[in-house]
Structure 1
């Protein structure tokens, strides 16, 4: 992913108003992000524990979406799998995140949900740059490049559903 500026990020959001995009939290460490290892940038809002954000590159430029997730806690013994990168995590490591649809459907309250790693570090898990814990990644016959392509396909499919 190419490095993004705060202005790039704020201008990329498709499922919130310009005013909301102007007020949302953007991390201050953009220069320190591992851009070469990211397929999308995701972060949680420290001021709003039920909110997170995802910005991915698309053919027309970056596309950002606001996400919400439940605050309910799962038991430590419960394991869930991320729908994007196929990493499993115990407890609250994976969460159902919902994004308001784009346009009139979103204004009517329609949304799309997807199970995502709660820390939104899918790109790093797939590349082995961040370890989710023992037994969290399955041995696969796919190469890392193929796994990255699969994950990017899942991200694209999720973003496409926001427009349908």
Structure 2
């Protein structure tokens, strides 16, 4: 992924108004993010624990940003969940159903789509082995790392396509 600036990020949002995009929290450490190892930039809003955002570069080179919501935390003792993008398992609330309002008229009518993702939005780093989940959280796969990255991007772009419908 290319290095992003705050204006690029704010201008990429498709499922919120320009005013909402202007008020979104954008990470202050953009210069320190490992963009070369990211398939998308994802972050949580520290002022609103039920909100996060994601910006991805589409196959045509355009940027698409989406605002997402987290469900309220569930209480569970031995529950483990699997991320749909990177296939990493996490205990308890490490994977959440993130929902995005659809773009355009469908979103204004209240339609949304969801995807089970790592709550810390670090899927690209898990796939590349740059961030470690707990032991046994990543399945040993016969796919190469490049194939796993391609799978992550295919699933992410399918989700973004659903948001854009």
TM-score tier by shorter-chain length is over 0.9
- Tell me the residue number matched to 1:137: 138
- Tell me the residue number matched to 2:95: 94
How far is the alpha carbon of 1:60 from its aligned partner? 4.5
- Tell me the residue number matched to 1:161: 162
Q: Secondary structure at the match of 1:162?
A: helix
How far is the alpha carbon of 1:96 from its aligned partner? 0.3
Change (3 A) 1:4 1:108: same
Q: Secondary structure at the match of 1:104?
A: helix
Q: Any residues of structure 2 matched to 1:42-53 within 5 Å, and which? A: 42-53=42-53
The whole-number CA distance in structure 1 between the counterparts of 2:111 and 2:133 is 32
1:14, 1:102 within 8 Å by CA — same for their partners in 2?
Answer: yes
How far is the alpha carbon of 1:147 from its aligned partner? 0.1
User: Normalising by the residue count of structure 2, what TM-score does the alignment of the two structures yield?
Assistant: 0.97
2:79 is aligned with 1:83? no
Q: Secondary structure at the match of 1:92?
A: helix
**What CA deviation, in whole Å up to 9, does each residue of 1:8-40 have, x standing for no partner?**
000000000000000100000000001111000
Q: Aligned-residue CA RMSD in angstroms?
A: 0.8
The aligned length equals 164
Q: Secondary structure at the match of 2:151?
A: helix
The answer for unaligned runs of 5 or more in structure 2 is none
Q: Any residues of structure 2 matched to 1:26-37 within 5 Å, and which? A: 26-37=26-37
User: Normalising by the residue count of structure 1, what TM-score does the alignment of the two structures yield?
Assistant: 0.98
Q: Any residues of structure 2 matched to 1:1-164 within 5 Å, and which? A: 1-58=1-58, 59-164=60-165
